[in-house]
Amino acid sequence: MSIQNNLNNIKQSLPEHVTLVAVSKTKPISDLMEAYNIGQRIFGENKIQEMVEKYKEMPKDIKWHMIGHVQRNKVKYMAEFVSLIHGVESFKLLKEINKQAKKHDRVIDCLLQIKIAEEDSKFGMTPQDASTILQSEEFSTLKNIKITGVMGMATFTNNTLQIEKEFKLLKTVFDELKLLNSTNCKLETISMGMSGDYNLAIECGSTMVRVGSSIFGSRNYN
Ligand SMILES: *Cc1c(COP(=O)(O)O)cnc(C)c1O
Q: Tell whether ligand 1 has an atom less than 6 A from the beta carbon of residue 23.
A: yes
- Close Cβ partners of 192 (under 8 Å, ≥ 6 residues apart): 151, 152, 153, 154, 167, 170, 201, 204, 206, 208, 209
- Cα dist. 22→19, 117, 193, 195 in Å? 10, 23, 12, 10
At residue 84, what are phi and psi to the nearest 5 degrees?
-150, 130
The tens digit of pLDDT for each residue in 12-61 reads 999 999 999 999 999 999 999 999 999 999 999 999 999 999 999 999 99
The tens digit of pLDDT for each residue in 121-156 reads 668 999 999 999 999 999 999 999 999 999 999 999
pLDDT exceeds 90 at position 120: no
- Mean pLDDT, the chain, integer: 96
Atom of ligand 1 nearest to the CA of 219: 8
Superfamily of domain 3-210: Alanine racemase (3.20.20.10)
For the chain, the structural domain boundaries read 3-210
For ligand 1, the distance from its centroid to the CA atom of residue 57, given in whole angstroms, is: 22
pLDDT exceeds 80 at position 175: yes
For the entire predicted model, the pTM comes to 0.97
